[in-house]
């Protein structure tokens, strides 16, 4: 019997992956690049156990067992790993995995999930990179964007051009400590599973959107170069503007898809207007946004402007009365925001009435490291490979705000309970 436990972060693309040239191998029609989100705030933890005594492979996600035989993506990852190592030949594997954020709600749960699975299996099977980015191709086969979650900091996924996908892999552009001032505010508009999966949405887009073809061929190659340069130079205005433009173009391709796909909603569009008004009030680009395949807003901001930006969010998108304490994951950040206040002139630049309760909660986070091995004390399975948590945790009587008063590890576990209980638990749905 052997066991490994890992944690993997999620990532947020600032140049988006959308469209495949090979859907079996998840080979994209364009390169993309993302920031790795600090896994103290959003992560997947996965324990894999291998034993010759297990009659079958088994998988538990967020406390519920999945039918692993029917999950083609997981089977592909298993086959790739086993095809490269005879170490555990004849042995079966138990996988136990938990997200501490909503599954399939546009927060890149598939990225964190498949990065964790492939990283854990690679460690268990003693696989090493045969060339830079090699192991990221295993995560990519599970879910395209997952290849970018193995490394920390700023990570590109170079599209490659080989038919076997060996050159379609992740490359770290800069580590997490290159730009420690870069921070993120995730405004969770909805933690429900989205109506159109990314996999289905991007396939229809490839089939029907001329704008997507133009974007992949003509727009993204130049943007990748500009984006990497902006990140290297820590040029926030250039970085944020490119991220906003690329998000807007990605969602334009969704509208150009036939029939069209709508991932943004009225709240998302109000946040977009709000960010531009904020920048107008500040007289410079201090805030950026990017939206994945869902309505949640990911705001980009430098540390010195984060309290002001959060104050503006609190003023224009306040929580329901009574929900204030749990609204922001870091209470000290909320206090700092209230002390600073929003920029003068924002109310004039953004004349919409405050929209109470349309944002469920806010994660203040930053850029962090990639997938990591955890201590065995953090294992999610016992020595027989059986999950230590056999059912989703009941929604605690204490609200998220109560959870936030606890020490940080308990807080994460409780917050995970609150969020995981609301999540849809099918690995088949582990597509953003
Ligand atoms: C990205 N997204 O670059 C883009 C931006 C969503 C919008 O990668 O079919 O879940 O598993 O390869 O990776 C969502 O697609 O799709 C995605 P599959 P994935 O992050």
Model pLDDT for residues 325-346, shown as the tens digit of each residue: 889 999 999 999 999 999 999 9
CA 3 to ligand 1 centroid distance, Å: 29
Res. 380: pLDDT tops 50: yes
Distance CA 361, CA 94 (A): 34
Structure confidence at residue 402 as a pLDDT band (50, 70, 90): very low
Q: Whose CA is nearest to atom 9 of ligand 1?
A: 199
Structure confidence at residue 90 as a pLDDT band (50, 70, 90): confident
Distance CA 274, CA 88 (A): 54
Report the residue among 8, 28, 198, 430 best suited for mutation to probe ligand 1: largest number of ligand atoms under 8 A from its CB: 198
Structure confidence at residue 128 (pLDDT):
94
Report all structural domains of the chain as residue ranges with CATH numbers, in order of start.
2-180+197-262+367-429 (3.30.230.10)
Q: What is the pLDDT of residues 189-237, one digit of tens each?
A: 976 767 889 999 999 999 999 999 999 999 999 999 999 999 999 999 9
CA 10 to ligand 1 centroid distance, Å: 11
Q: Is residue 114 within 8 Å of residue 427, measured between CB atoms?
A: no
Structure confidence at residue 106 (pLDDT):
55
Report the residue among 293, 295, 297, 427 best suited for mutation to probe ligand 1: largest number of ligand atoms under 8 A from its CB: 293
Q: Which residues line ligand 1 (CB under 6 A)?
A: 13, 16-18, 26, 32, 110, 143-145, 198-199, 292-293, 431-432
Alpha carbon separation from 325 to 163, 263, 333, 402 (Å, rounded):
52, 29, 11, 8
Cα angle 100-113-28, degrees, rounded to a multiple of 5: 135
CA 1 to ligand 1 centroid distance, Å: 34
Q: What is the pLDDT of residues 349-364, one digit of tens each?
A: 998 899 999 999 899 9
Ramachandran assignment for 371, one of left (phi > 0), alpha (psi -120 to 50 degrees), beta (any other): beta
User: The tokens 């009587």 sit on which residue?
Assistant: 397
Structure confidence at residue 419 (pLDDT):
34
Structure confidence at residue 87 (pLDDT):
83
How would DSSP label each residue in 84-137? H--TTTT-EEEEEEEESS-TTSSS-HHHHHHHHHHHHHHHHTT---SSTTTTHH
Of 76, 68, 103, nearest in space to 429 by CA = 103
Give how far the C-alpha of residue 310 lies from the chain's centroid of Cα atoms, to the nearest Å: 21
Closest ligand 1 atom, residue 110 Cα: 10
Distance CA 109, CA 284 (A): 33
Residue 368 tokens read as 């962090």
CA 2 to ligand 1 centroid distance, Å: 32
Structure confidence at residue 428 as a pLDDT band (50, 70, 90): very low
Report the residue among 71, 145, 249 best suited for mutation to probe ligand 1: largest number of ligand atoms under 8 A from its CB: 145
Q: What is the pLDDT of residues 95-106, one digit of tens each?
A: 999 988 765 445
Structure confidence at residue 427 as a pLDDT band (50, 70, 90): very low
> Cα Rg for the chain, rounded, in angstroms?
21
Cα angle 405-411-414, degrees, rounded to a multiple of 5: 115
Q: What is the pLDDT of residues 244-303, one digit of tens each?
A: 999 999 999 999 999 999 999 999 999 999 999 999 999 999 999 999 999 999 999 999
Q: Is residue 401 within 8 Å of residue 323, measured between CB atoms?
A: yes
Cα angle 91-97-99, degrees, rounded to a multiple of 5: 165
Distance CA 166, CA 122 (A): 16
CA 198 to ligand 1 centroid distance, Å: 6
Q: What are the backbone angles phi and psi of residue 51, rounded to the nearest 5°?
A: -155, 145
Alpha carbon separation from 154 to 109, 232, 329 (Å, rounded):
18, 9, 23
CA 349 to ligand 1 centroid distance, Å: 34
Distance CA 87, CA 412 (A): 35
Structure confidence at residue 389 (pLDDT):
72
In the chain, % of residues over pLDDT 90: 80
Closest ligand 1 atom, residue 16 Cα: 3
Residue 163 tokens read as 């038919």
Higher pLDDT: 57 or 405? It is 57
Residue 173 bridge partners (DSSP): none
In the chain, % of residues over pLDDT 70: 87
Q: Which letter, b or e, does each residue of 156-186 get, where b requires 16 or more Cβ atoms within 10 Å of its Cβ?
A: bbbbbeeeebeebbbbbbbbbebbeebbbbb
Q: What is the pLDDT of residues 403-425, one digit of tens each?
A: 222 222 332 333 333 333 333 22
The span from the first CA to the last CA of the chain, in angstroms, equals 33
Report the residue among 23, 33, 110 best suited for mutation to probe ligand 1: largest number of ligand atoms under 8 A from its CB: 110
Residue 236 tokens read as 């926030």
Distance CA 379, CA 63 (A): 14
Distance CA 133, CA 107 (A): 24
Res. 125: pLDDT tops 60: yes
């Amino acid at each position: 019997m052997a066991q490994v436990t890992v944690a993997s972060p999620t990532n947020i693309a600032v140049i988006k992956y959308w469209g495949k040239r090979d859907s079996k191998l998840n080979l994209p029609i364009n390169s993309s690049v993302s920031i790795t989100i600090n896994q103290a705030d959003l992560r997947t933890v996965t324990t894999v156990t291998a034993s010759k005594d297990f009659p079958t492979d088994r998988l538990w996600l967020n406390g519920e067992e999945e039918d692993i035989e029917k999950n083609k993506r997981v089977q592909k990852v298993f086959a790739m790993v086993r095809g490269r190592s005879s170490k555990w030949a004849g042995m079966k594997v138990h996988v136990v995995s938990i997200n501490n954020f909503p599954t399939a709600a546009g927060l890149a749960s598939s990225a964190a999930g498949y990065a964790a699975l492939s990283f854990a299996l690679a460690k268990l099977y003693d696989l090493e990179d045969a060339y830079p980015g090699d192991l990221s191709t295993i995560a990519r086969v599970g879910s395209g964007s997952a290849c970018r979650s193995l490394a920390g900091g700023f990570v590109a996924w170079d599209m490659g051009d080989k038919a076997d996908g060996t050159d379609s892999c992740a490359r770290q552009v800069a580590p997490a400590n290159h730009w420690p001032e870069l921070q993120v505010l995730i405004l969770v508009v909805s933690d429900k599973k989205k109506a159109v999966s990314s996999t289905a949405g991007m396939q229809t887009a490839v089939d029907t959107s001329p704008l997507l073809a133009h974007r992949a061929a003509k727009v993204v190659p130049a943007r990748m170069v500009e984006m990497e340069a902006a990140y290297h130079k820590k040029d926030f205005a250039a970085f944020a503007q490119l991220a906003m433009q690329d998000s807007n173009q990605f969602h334009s391709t969704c509208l150009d898809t036939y029939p069209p796909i709508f991932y943004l909603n009225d709240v998302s569009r109000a946040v977009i207007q709000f960010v531009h008004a904020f920048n107008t009030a500040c007289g410079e680009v201090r805030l950026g946004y990017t939206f994945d395949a869902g309505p949640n807003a990911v705001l980009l901001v430098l540390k010195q402007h984060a309290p002001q930006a959060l104050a503006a969010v609190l003023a224009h998108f306040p929580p329901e009365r009574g929900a204030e304490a749990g609204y922001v994951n870091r209470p000290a950040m909320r206090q700092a925001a209230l002390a600073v206040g929003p920029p003068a002139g924002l109310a004039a630049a953004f004349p919409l009435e405050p929209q109470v309760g349309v944002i469920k909660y806010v994660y203040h986070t930053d850029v962090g490291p990639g997938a990591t091995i955890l201590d065995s004390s953090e294992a999610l399975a016992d020595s027989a490979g059986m999950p230590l948590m056999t059912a989703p945790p009941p929604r605690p009587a204490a609200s998220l705000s109560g959870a936030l008063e606890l020490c940080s590890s308990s807080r994460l576990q409780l917050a995970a309970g609150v969020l995981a209980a609301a999540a849809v638990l099918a690995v088949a749905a582990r597509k953003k």
